[in-house]
Amino acid sequence: MTTLNETHDTALTSWVTTANDDSTGFPIQNLPFAVFRKQGTQGAFRPGVAIGDRIVDLAALAKLNVFEGLAAQALNTCTGDSLNALMALGRDHWRALRLALSRALRTGSPLQAQIEPLLSAQADAEYTTPARIGDYTDFYISLHHATTIGKQFRPDNPLLPNYKWVPIGYHGRASSLGVNQAFPRPVGQTRPTAEGEAPQFGPCQRLDYELELGIFVGTGNAQGDRIALDQADEHVFGLCILNDWSARDIQAWEYQPLGPFLAKNFASTISPWIVTLEALEPFRTAFTRGAGEPQPLPYLSSDTNRARGAYDVRMEVLITTQASRAARHAPAHLSASNFSEAGYWTVAQMIAHHTVNGCNLQPGDLLGSGTLSGPQPSEAGSLLELSNGGKAPIALPWGEQRTFLEDGDQIIIRAECQKAGYPRIGFGESVGTVMPAR
Amino acid sequence: MTTLNETHDTALTSWVTTANDDSTGFPIQNLPFAVFRKQGTQGAFRPGVAIGDRIVDLAALAKLNVFEGLAAQALNTCTGDSLNALMALGRDHWRALRLALSRALRTGSPLQAQIEPLLSAQADAEYTTPARIGDYTDFYISLHHATTIGKQFRPDNPLLPNYKWVPIGYHGRASSLGVNQAFPRPVGQTRPTAEGEAPQFGPCQRLDYELELGIFVGTGNAQGDRIALDQADEHVFGLCILNDWSARDIQAWEYQPLGPFLAKNFASTISPWIVTLEALEPFRTAFTRGAGEPQPLPYLSSDTNRARGAYDVRMEVLITTQASRAARHAPAHLSASNFSEAGYWTVAQMIAHHTVNGCNLQPGDLLGSGTLSGPQPSEAGSLLELSNGGKAPIALPWGEQRTFLEDGDQIIIRAECQKAGYPRIGFGESVGTVMPAR
């Protein structure tokens, strides 16, 4: 079991002084990973770690040869354009690297003079997908989302009998995952206007976002083996923000009997930064089911999972539009939710379920949580829910209203962990923009 | 439009004399690609081309520096452990390489003495997945399969209203695809014995194969762009055999509402050899819909697709069991089918549909056809169909019977193209074996 260690000490400060208040969400207790380069250059992308408003260039740091042992081994994998090699090393290496980075970046570190020249401003950076994502699986862990959506697709049968037993998941598209995406509105088939007619065809009319968290697999499992529930955490590198864009009208027509396909695979936007599971340790919380809920089958059930299987991560969805940006309005709040309250299943349960049949996970694979709608209507993680299937337009503060997304709309999702007496642990944000259909 | 050329000349023979009758299925008119190494060695896997019962080592051939122009450029990508770089080059390069190989391997070639030492026996080879498969999509193009299966899962509603309009597809698992797989029987949840009870858990009791063809994407498309129907063929590198193993009892419990997941992602077995689309040119046939069938929407409809959208590929499924192998019985025939008769949609329609929303395909991506059941009961592509959902056991010639697969069972799928006056174009075989649950 991972527990708190020196890197979580709230007294730690960094010689990068912007890390020492809660403004950036990247204090020395966080140290999230991304793959970046200077904006507008054609230079190679390379791994970096955030500290305050700066990024430590890990490829350059590796050349200094100032770390030792497992930390040096881990750092030496950070020279390419993805984090896959680091992810494949395993938890002992991740911990050693985090500890070495924490010591190197803290106030008074003798390495300050050597490392300072390797820092660059996040404001000048551009990012790419932090890992080569071999496979992307999307789960469906919010009971509230499943129930609300179920009512719209199957009014008489909203929650299917398997929901409270099976962490429902399906395979998504890895190729169209990215950071800071601007994508054309998808085109496709939608329901015929009358039974027996040809379907309609054209740009999606019910384009939506989905508020999710992404789970990056670190070490995988051999095909045929399974990962036990209480070992699952060791296999997870960290979490990011995920916006799983959805074309609701395309989905409604295509999804039976084999699930969503073109309704989802045109784009999925993650945040550039991966917050490691170790950085999230202070925000683990109990995961319990209500008295009336069935207890999971043994392979999905353990004392550890109940005691600390959930993560207290707050999320917020914001929108800007072409008009609001022109008028320089601040982004408008659409909803807020919390990972620990939204999930009917934990990260560990998703991993244990995914591999129970021998399916092999690989370093860099991404699991999506599914839309993280909370119990309250204001905590809904999609417009489909917030607008009651398009029937209740949402008023935006600058006078526009929305049921679904219009061209030029930009969705910003933020996430963070906060509790009294601990520095704010930020995830940065995922940003995606809807362009006109081609 | 690709048409027949010098490489399809039926008069051509090879100085590799085993290529000059129909016994291997690898005549000089075929020239399929795989990635191989000598069995039992720890050497690097490398690309090869089959000719008769031999393999040409393309990495070694590249070193000879005997090709020119596009053919040389194409060959020079064949030095790693996958065909992705060759696939990414595009059709002009693939054609040039095929022409150069055809000339080099034909009777009387001045290169014979230089190339002969680079040949090795297929009998001594082992294979790996011929490409790094970024994404795997499985379609569902057999109307016959969809109707028969639909009756078992939804007796009152076998064929959903979208079927004849949408080439139904869903994302599968890339990591568990392989060649010559031996995998443990998957374990998982299945339906409760009574409503309100906990689900059952244990080794799958209804393990099945699915007879499919796989389509390897060559050149992809940029995210946001689409591939037009009549350009789709240019993006396809070639076809292989695919066995999409399925755990029917796990599938029945988990698949609603988001589609199959653990029922499919434990293993999927392809043949080592990819037969190029150019080798299949002589076997293109008309693709027509019956008078009562709706015509597809314009993005899925063209004269070219109707005139030559289908491929006349014959397929056969065979089984051996632990008992039959011990007694040295020949594999038993389970069923036979034909790609052109089974498919309600063509390869080009699958590509055009997959990308109509801007989803990006990448070199090495694999599309599965879905189970290729033909119109006759004997042409069913799965045990679920052949045994009528497990109710009608199939008698095997050595005295055993099967409804679903038992431990030790091995499924062999073969495919080939045959017509009078043309050499037999073989696909080799896909071989997979069920091991006991772990």
Task: Determine which of A149, A157, A235, A261 to mutate to test the interface with B (most B C-beta atoms within 10 Å).
Answer: A261
Among A8, A93, A144, A145, which one carries the catalytic annotation? A145
Dihedral sign computed on CA atoms, order B209, B212, B218, B224? negative
Position A246: which residue type? S
Name every residue whose Cβ is closer than 8 Å to that of residue B3 and which is 6 or more positions away in sequence. B281
Flag if B262 and A168 touch (Cβ within 8 Å). Answer: no
Give the DSSP letter of residue B370. Answer: -
Place of tokens 């994407």: B217
For residues B355-375, average pLDDT:
98
Torsion on CA atoms B160, B161, B166, B169, rounded to nearest 10: -20
Amino acid at B169: G
How far apart, in whole angstroms, are the C-alpha atoms of residue B184 and residue B438? 6
pLDDT at res. A76:
98
Contact B27, B33 (CB under 8 A): no
Measured distance CA(A180)–CA(A272) in Å, rounded:
8
B2 pLDDT exceeds 70? no
Class of domain A136-435: alpha beta
Q: Map tokens 């696909």 to a residue.
A: B427
Helix (H) or strand (E) holding B87: helix B84-89
Q: Do B261 and A169 touch (CB under 8 A)?
A: yes
Binding-face residues of A in 49-68 toward B, CB within 8 A = none
ipTM, two decimals: 0.97
Rounded distance, CA B4 to CA B129, Å? 29
CA distance A149 to B397: 51
Contact B31, B51 (CB under 8 A): yes
Angstrom distance (rounded) from CA B75 to CA B275:
17
How far away is chain A from the Cα of B141, in angstroms, using its nearest Cα? 12
pLDDT for B154: 79
Give the number of other Cβ atoms within 10 Å of residue A250's Cβ. 28
Domain with CATH 3.90.850.10 in chain A: 136-435
Compute the C-alpha angle B135/A203/A435, nearest 5°. Answer: 75
Q: In angstroms, what CA-CA distances link A209 with A179, A185, A412?
A: 15, 12, 10
In this prediction, residue B195 carries a pLDDT of 86
CB-closest option in A175, A354, A365 to B362: A175
Q: What pLDDT is attached to residue A1?
A: 46
- The answer to whether the CB of A428 falls within 8 A of the CB of A238 is no
Q: Within chain B, which residue ranges are assigned CATH 2.30.30.230?
A: 6-128
What is the 8-class DSSP label of residue B68? -
Task: Give the whole-angstrom CA distance, residue B26 versus residue B16.
Answer: 11
pLDDT of residue A423: 98
pLDDT tens sequence across B220-268: 999 999 999 999 999 999 999 999 999 999 999 999 999 999 999 999 9
- Divide the 438 residues of chain A into consecutive groups of 10 and give the mean pLDDT of each group: 85 98 97 97 96 98 98 98 98 98 98 98 98 98 93 85 97 98 98 94 98 98 98 98 98 95 98 98 94 94 96 98 98 97 96 98 98 96 96 98 98 98 98 98
Q: In whole angstroms, how far apart are CA A409 and each of A297, B49, B322, B358?
A: 43, 51, 61, 18
Are residues B265 and A176, on separate chains, in Cβ contact within 8 Å?
no
Whether residue B1 is predicted with pLDDT greater than 80 in this model: the reply is no
Given a contact cutoff of 8 angstroms between Cβ atoms, the answer to whether B76 and B61 are in contact is no
- Cα gap B193→A215, rounded to integer Å: 34
Catalytic position from the list B145, B235, B353, B354: B145
Helix (H, G, I), strand (E, B) or coil at B296: coil
* Contact yes or no for B301/B288 (Cβ under 8 A): no
Token pair listed for A394: 């949402």
Alpha helices in A56-176 (DSSP H): 58-64, 69-76, 84-89, 91-105, 112-115, 143-153
Question: Which residue is associated with the tokens 């590796």?
Answer: A62
Q: Cβ(B86)–Cβ(B47) under 8 Å?
A: yes
Q: Are B47 and B97 in contact (CB under 8 A)?
A: no
Closest by CA position to A71, among listed A79, A60, A84, A62:
A62
Distance CA A153, CA B121 (A): 57
Scanning A106-262, the segments in alpha helix (DSSP H) are 112-115, 143-153, 248-254
pLDDT of residue A328: 98
Rounded distance between C-alpha atoms, residue A353 and residue A170, angstroms: 12
B353 is catalytic: no
| CA–CA distance, B138 with B172 (Å, rounded to integer) | 6
A407 and A435 in contact (C-beta within 8 Å)?
A: yes
Residue of B335, B346, B326, B323 whose CA lies nearest to B401 = B323
Q: Does A95 touch chain B (CB under 8 A)?
A: no
Contact B297, B284 (CB under 8 A): no
* Contacts with B, A 158-177, CB within 8 Å: 160-162, 165-166, 168-176
Give the C-alpha separation, A194 to A164, whole Å: 35
Closest CA to A102 of A32, A22, A24, A2: A32
Helix (H) or strand (E) holding B184: strand B181-184
The CATH class, in words, for A6-128 is mainly beta
**Long-range Cβ contacts of A388-391 (<8 Å, 24+ apart):** A389/A152, A390/A206
Q: Please, which residues 261-280 of chain A have a Cβ atom closer than 8 Å to chain B?
A: 261-262, 265-267
Integer Cα distance of B425 and B31 in angstroms: 9
In the numeric block, which tokens belong to residue B397?
């010639």
The tens digit of pLDDT for each residue in B108-134 reads: 999 999 999 999 999 999 999 999 999
- pLDDT value for B57: 98
Alpha carbon distance A203, A134 (integer Å): 29
